[in-house]
Amino acid sequence: MDKLKKLLQQPDNRLCADCRAPYPKWASTSIGVFICTKCYEVHRDLGAHISTVVSVNLEEWSDEQVEVMEAVGGNAAANSVYEKCIPSDVRKPSPNASIDERTDFIRRKYEDQEFLKPNLRMKATSRTRSSSSTEPTSLNPSALSNRDSVNNNRDSVTSNSRSSRLNQGETPPGSFNNYSNSSSLASSGRSGGVSSRSSSSSSARKEESLGMLKVTIIRGRSLVVRDLLSSDPYVSVSYGTQTFKTGVVNRNLNPVWKEEFYFSVGNPPQPVKLEVFDHDVFSADDSMGTAEVDLNPLILAAQMHQGMFEAFGSEKIGRWLATSDNSLIEDSNIEVIDGVIKQDIIFKLKNVERGELELSLEWVPIHAP
């Protein structure tokens, strides 16, 4: 695999990401780092939900695995995230370090994510919380109030029959694409999500906010006919318990909405659920298909390129790959355009005979003060 060889030739990838031993023979395709055999053994013991390890000599690398390694950009890029805030008294293990020393460091680095910038930590451990001098990150109040007023103008439908119908078509965690399956930076919340979520609710801890998401519902194409000759489509957009609706476009199978909705995205990020309905005056609205946006590729790309946006101008920083699970019509590019992180998506609607839905996302990460 040429791409893999090219990556391995990068100077930073010729040393183990964790202990700097030369010529790493293994890769964590979930984290995106190249590691030595000794560190590989620790990664393997962490479990595949944190680190999925494969030999670099193995012929059977999937395109997706290579894509992830490329998207992360190598050991230096990964360490610039995973070791961004490494305390001065913590030293990386040497190539000859004991297994205990190695294990301690690697667990703190990837499992506890102790050395990440505080606002990126997926699991806020009590240790880092109590010792951290920085306040929990909070949204810029003025930005929030602006966005709130936008939301308040929409009629919000929460927990009605619609959202429960939507849930039935929900893709089970784990069957998303490779990014969310394997990328532990973005999805440790999902893989370890059950415990972290329940602990946060039981301790009534304020949910950490990762950023603001703007969802623009652009248009539908070739939607199904639900009435006699046409349909009166609108889109319901849900994140967590919040649900908003676009306006109804009467008798149109190729409706254009161009409506914007804002959501505050907590940690771990949940999927954005979309459902197109045919507005019906006399009976319940009929479903015209569903789609679900996995936010992990977008958030991961933003985290990986944090602080590099100004230099970029306009640049592709990541991709959400089209797979049979996510019903993307084509790979969805994540780009930075004039400092704004954007992702355009075209879905083939699920649970329906036909129809496409086009939307775009904008991501505003919350930076530590």
Q: By the criterion CB under 5 A, which residues form the site for Zn ion?
A: 16, 18-19, 21, 36, 39
The residue (of 39 and 359) whose beta carbon lies closer to Zn ion is 39
| Cis before 268 (ω within 30) | yes
Alpha-carbon Rg of the chain, whole angstroms?
22
User: To the nearest whole angstrom, how small is the minimum distance from the Cβ of residue 85 to Zn ion?
Assistant: 21
The residue (of 41 and 325) whose beta carbon lies closer to Zn ion is 41
User: To the nearest whole angstrom, how small is the minimum distance from the Cβ of residue 105 to Zn ion?
Assistant: 10
The residue (of 98 and 134) whose beta carbon lies closer to Zn ion is 98
Half-sphere exposure for 324 (CA within 13 Å, toward CB): 0
Question: Which of 118, 117, 138, 139 is CA-nearest to residue 129?
Answer: 118
Helix or strand (DSSP H, E) at 38: helix 37-46
How far is Cα 274 from Cα 347, in angstroms, rounded to an integer? 10
User: To the nearest whole angstrom, how small is the minimum distance from the Cβ of residue 75 to Zn ion?
Assistant: 10
Angle at 121 between CA 117 and CA 125, to 5 degrees: 115
Residue 160 phi, psi (nearest 5): -100, -170
Q: What is the dihedral of CA 189, 191, 193, 195, to 10 degrees?
A: -130
User: To the nearest whole angstrom, how small is the minimum distance from the Cβ of residue 9 to Zn ion?
Assistant: 19
The residue (of 20 and 165) whose beta carbon lies closer to Zn ion is 20
Helix or strand (DSSP H, E) at 362: strand 356-365
User: To the nearest whole angstrom, how small is the minimum distance from the Cβ of residue 87 to Zn ion?
Assistant: 20
User: To the nearest whole angstrom, how small is the minimum distance from the Cβ of residue 18 to Zn ion?
Assistant: 5
The residue (of 62 and 96) whose beta carbon lies closer to Zn ion is 96
- The residue to which tokens 């199978």 are assigned: 253
The residue (of 16 and 352) whose beta carbon lies closer to Zn ion is 16
The residue (of 16 and 185) whose beta carbon lies closer to Zn ion is 16
User: To the nearest whole angstrom, how small is the minimum distance from the Cβ of residue 106 to Zn ion?
Assistant: 9
The residue (of 18 and 285) whose beta carbon lies closer to Zn ion is 18
Contacts of 41 (CB under 8 A, 6+ apart): 99
DSSP 254-272: S-EEEEEEEEEEESSPPPE
User: To the nearest whole angstrom, how small is the minimum distance from the Cβ of residue 123 to Zn ion?
Assistant: 23
Contacts of 51 (CB under 8 A, 6+ apart): 28, 30, 31, 43, 44, 110, 184
Q: What's the token pair of residue 360?
A: 């775009």
